Structure 1
Amino acid sequence: MREILDAHVAEPGLAVVEVAAADDATALAIHQLLAARCAITPAQGTTREPGKPGVRLRFSLDLHQEPDS
């Protein structure tokens, strides 16, 4: 998974979110729910860690910006 950069959390209202879910559909549904409320980076796809259950999805969000229409 990509490194979290200082710019991603440089000020209040910016965050990096990592979703752990049982499957891709669930992780992407969480991404869509947050995308309806604030500006977020596009989902790059889920990752799987060998030997561990589920998937992970990481993205950044900005509470100051409105979501794209």
Structure 2
Amino acid sequence: MQIDVQHIAGPGLVVLDITAADEDTLRAVMDGLQQQWATSGITPIRRLPGEPGIRARVYADVHRPGPAE
């Protein structure tokens, strides 16, 4: 999957590709990230044939805080 330059066009913008053993772990990580920073939230989960684990891609702005608790 290609990373669009627009997603990393400025300081503090990151693209995180996350791999986990199971869906619950992957969703917990994405939720934790969105609590810390402004992110694309819980994104679609994908499996790659022949590769272990499940994956998701999250876009984040580490200069902007996540939602207030």
TM value normalised by structure 1? 0.87
What do you get for the CA RMSD once the two structures are aligned? 1.3
Higher strand fraction (1 or 2): 2
C-alpha contact 1:37 1:66 (8 A) present in aligned 2: yes
Counterpart in 2 of 1:63? Answer: 62
Q: Match of 1:6?
A: 5
User: Which TM-score applies when normalising by structure 2?
Assistant: 0.87
Instruction: Return structure 1 stretches of 4+ with deviation > 2 angstroms.
Output: none
Q: Output aligned runs, 1:39-54, within 5 Å.
A: 39-54=38-53
Q: CA deviation at 1:43?
A: 2.3
Name the % identity: 35
Where does residue 15 of structure 1 map in the other structure?
14
1:32 maps to 31
Count of aligned positions: 68
- Structure 2: stretches of 5+ with no match in the other structure: none
